[in-house]
Structure 1
């Protein structure tokens, strides 16, 4: 059994006095009203960042630890290692068994979970405010003291293979992975977060443990918490937990900055068809979008909302309301540090897929050429602003915003600032981003029961 961090030496006495602990640096990033909504950031010696938002009107707290590692950080042979490791951190530490970890949070009525994305991983617990010290102790213990036990590695391998099988049994989910691969190819961003059956079977305990030691250094971690809390108490409890694990040994270490850079998205005009015996055909039609650091992302969000973000959107009205060709149809954006995707999804009966695709293509081409009406833009701005506020009404969503702000943008944006950026989008901004993004040649991914004639017509539709 191994641990990921070396034990910290105990403080020593020098000339009769104890050596002082290195000081943490704390800043208030967003000043709230009477303390509510106040966002504070502390950087501990060792490079660990702690960010909290005070929400005194609730009786809960969501506590999370984010790791700046995702599936894009994997080599082809390690594809799936980040997600595999996410599972294993719940399987025991030197202080707790897997049952101890789950029982600790269950006993106080809390919930604990984790998720892996392409550029980060998050572990979190939501508990009553009085139980926050317990949540901090458990989650910090998981992140700093995982054993990566060989027996658990083998047991969890089967669980992950079942998760891959479950995803492949859901074509409405699987088609989005296929579309990402269609545009990004066999690149770190194009490969699936879960890995493949082949790569998961080939991962060894030693390779996963090395991956853990490399990517779970405090300089690559961000602690976030939101709810009825005291920032000073959170900092003190987190620092105690990390020092107990020997994880803050480099006092001069600096946090790893957020990701930046540029990469070329795979050439457009590609098509991937996956023949499966399903009741529906599932398609994603789309093209390269913009990165999350691109200022045009606000206008693209408004554009996506108007095209396929609600019941009044163009695609919903044209495909579902007027013609009854699909139950689910929508548009979406995915943004990474250096590129982005714009997609339109629809699920329909296999015999109607060509009609649905033709309508989607026509709508995208029309908006690319002529833009949206002022009324559509203003309605989309209202919808996007309202959904942004409603989406941040619980402590889990606030905790999520804090973590992404630090890891993805390197700054915290207040809700008012976000709303100002959305409401500042003009019809001309939307027309320009529509011409740029929707004017590109689209790519297409389809999963469903397709005969040769249908496949040929689909290929013609994006040629």
Structure 2
């Protein structure tokens, strides 16, 4: 398979084979629920994911019906769905997976939420049934709600105590400004304290419906059995599967302009290292240059042979951690350079990182660097698909976010078509954009006076 396979929302059944020989099947139930599976030969376990296309960016400042703050609802709900249904207590849910050696968890992202489990092949039916019950009939018990508020506040405190995590949240706020993606995924202590059960319940009712959900599974999976188990579990949990509905439209993939909040943000903390991020707006999810960005990242800061690692760590010994990064969302993205170093070295490290980006934009890359990057990315892409977790995620994201499935062979073919000139052009684009510098550590903002100025005095 050398081209992408489209996932039309209106097509009830699909079956196709990947280049690796695994079989992918897709069923869209009459109520709009989408179920996908990838059978992996010789596998004796499976990973299942229940995906909902709502994340922290979709929360409302004021709940539609309750008039209460909805910020933090997504994170709240992720916790609460493990706290019991009319037929299962929180302990019952935990025991169901613990007693078979399975793993189960959830994650909240900026544009989706996923509840997942990994179990042996003989326990797939159980895992499907329990996850379906959690999704469809969570009780959101008021007492559990208040207890979980305390748990979430402790989680946020733990994250805030980690400067390496805190700098990322400040970076998104600085680079994306008023855009909803700028908000912290988990919320803040203020928003979690202000969030009410009524707001979370409204969020649940509004976004957790059959037409909002994608279920993906990979490994030792029988698709027909999966569909039957899902249907039976959801009906038992109270969803009326006879109600016909189309899947909800996917999020718009049209890129938008964002306005940064500031060009420099420094949060003083009396700690041993400064955690530093430099960057700005990147590329959106459907930007045709997404593979070019992967190659650029590999060359600039994607490994031990990258330019940033060699120049800043290996040649100069200025930092232990130094890298580049890119994250894409449906309508925008962020790109940047990161490092952690002692306060006295911060400005030198910042100047060197920016200099490497500009050098890449001015002089381009060598054929040797291109060959190394293509090899690194090709190998990493293939190795990532060795486990069922990655394949489950690939399926879920493909249907929920972009509406097409890109096989490994198709990805590698497109990757091999990236040229050195493509990388240089993208580097020029990124280097010309307004950059923001964000730091957490024992420094003051004035350390960055004049940072990034060209000889003409412009960023």
| TM bucket normalised to smaller | over 0.9
2:318 corresponds to which residue? Answer: 325
Equivalent of residue 152 in structure 2, options 160, 170, 173: 160
The answer to whether the 8 A contact 1:309-1:331 is kept is yes
2:15 corresponds to which residue? Answer: 28
After superposition, the Cα gap between the structure-2 partners of 1:68 and 1:269, relative to the gap in structure 1 and judged at 3 Å, is: same
Alignment of 1:236 onto 2:228: yes
**What is the rounded CA distance, in whole Å, between the counterparts of 2:96 and 2:233 in structure 1?**
16
Deviates more, 1:246-255 or 1:59-68: 246-255
**What is the rounded CA distance, in whole Å, between the counterparts of 2:285 and 2:18 in structure 1?**
25
2:55 corresponds to which residue? Answer: 70
The answer to whether the 8 A contact 1:226-1:398 is kept is yes
- 1:134-169 alpha-carbon deviations (Å, 9 max, x no partner): 000110000001000000000000110011111111
> What SS does structure 2 have at the residue aligned with 1:460?
coil
2:66 corresponds to which residue? Answer: none
Equivalent of residue 274 in structure 2, options 262, 270, 281: 281
**What is the rounded CA distance, in whole Å, between the counterparts of 1:358 and 1:242 in structure 2?**
56
> What SS does structure 1 have at the residue aligned with 2:198?
helix
> What SS does structure 1 have at the residue aligned with 2:271?
coil
**What is the rounded CA distance, in whole Å, between the counterparts of 2:428 and 2:70 in structure 1?**
39
Deviation at 1:356, TM superposition (A): 0.3
The answer to whether the 8 A contact 2:285-2:328 is kept is yes
Matches within 5 A, 1:318-357: 318-357=311-350
The answer to whether the 8 A contact 2:231-2:241 is kept is no
The answer to whether the 8 A contact 2:284-2:332 is kept is yes
Deviation at 1:32, TM superposition (A): 5.6
Deviates more, 1:346-355 or 1:436-445: 436-445
After superposition, the Cα gap between the structure-2 partners of 1:72 and 1:274, relative to the gap in structure 1 and judged at 3 Å, is: same
**What is the rounded CA distance, in whole Å, between the counterparts of 1:46 and 1:368 in structure 2?**
50
Alignment of 1:138 onto 2:125: no
After superposition, the Cα gap between the structure-2 partners of 1:147 and 1:297, relative to the gap in structure 1 and judged at 3 Å, is: same
> What SS does structure 1 have at the residue aligned with 2:406?
coil
- 1:381-400 alpha-carbon deviations (Å, 9 max, x no partner): 11111111112211111111
1:396 corresponds to which residue? Answer: 389
After superposition, the Cα gap between the structure-2 partners of 1:70 and 1:88, relative to the gap in structure 1 and judged at 3 Å, is: same
1:210 corresponds to which residue? Answer: 202
Deviates more, 1:180-189 or 1:38-47: 180-189
**What is the rounded CA distance, in whole Å, between the counterparts of 2:129 and 2:223 in structure 1?**
16
Matches within 5 A, 1:436-455: 436-451=429-444, 455=445
After superposition, the Cα gap between the structure-2 partners of 1:376 and 1:245, relative to the gap in structure 1 and judged at 3 Å, is: same
Aligned length in residues = 436
> What SS does structure 1 have at the residue aligned with 2:275?
strand
**What is the rounded CA distance, in whole Å, between the counterparts of 1:249 and 1:128 in structure 2?**
28
Equivalent of residue 106 in structure 1, options 78, 98, 101: 98
TM-score in terms of structure 2 length: 0.92
The answer to whether the 8 A contact 2:177-2:260 is kept is no
1:7 corresponds to which residue? Answer: none
**What is the rounded CA distance, in whole Å, between the counterparts of 2:42 and 2:122 in structure 1?**
14
Deviation at 1:31, TM superposition (A): 4.5
Deviates more, 1:414-423 or 1:56-65: 414-423
Q: Which runs of 4+ in 1 moved over 6 A?
A: none
**What is the rounded CA distance, in whole Å, between the counterparts of 2:240 and 2:265 in structure 1?**
48
2:451 corresponds to which residue? Answer: 461
> What SS does structure 2 have at the residue aligned with 1:346?
strand
The answer to whether the 8 A contact 2:25-2:38 is kept is yes
Deviation at 1:457, TM superposition (A): 3.0
Matches within 5 A, 1:362-441: 362-441=355-434
Q: Which sections of structure 2, spanning at least 5 residues, go unmatched?
A: 1-9, 62-68, 454-459
**What is the rounded CA distance, in whole Å, between the counterparts of 2:437 and 2:16 in structure 1?**
43
**What is the rounded CA distance, in whole Å, between the counterparts of 1:101 and 1:427 in structure 2?**
52
Equivalent of residue 247 in structure 2, options 252, 255, 258: 255
The answer to whether the 8 A contact 1:145-1:245 is kept is yes
Alignment of 1:149 onto 2:141: yes
**What is the rounded CA distance, in whole Å, between the counterparts of 1:432 and 1:81 in structure 2?**
41
> What SS does structure 2 have at the residue aligned with 1:148?
coil
After superposition, the Cα gap between the structure-2 partners of 1:250 and 1:344, relative to the gap in structure 1 and judged at 3 Å, is: farther
**What is the rounded CA distance, in whole Å, between the counterparts of 1:140 and 1:42 in structure 2?**
16
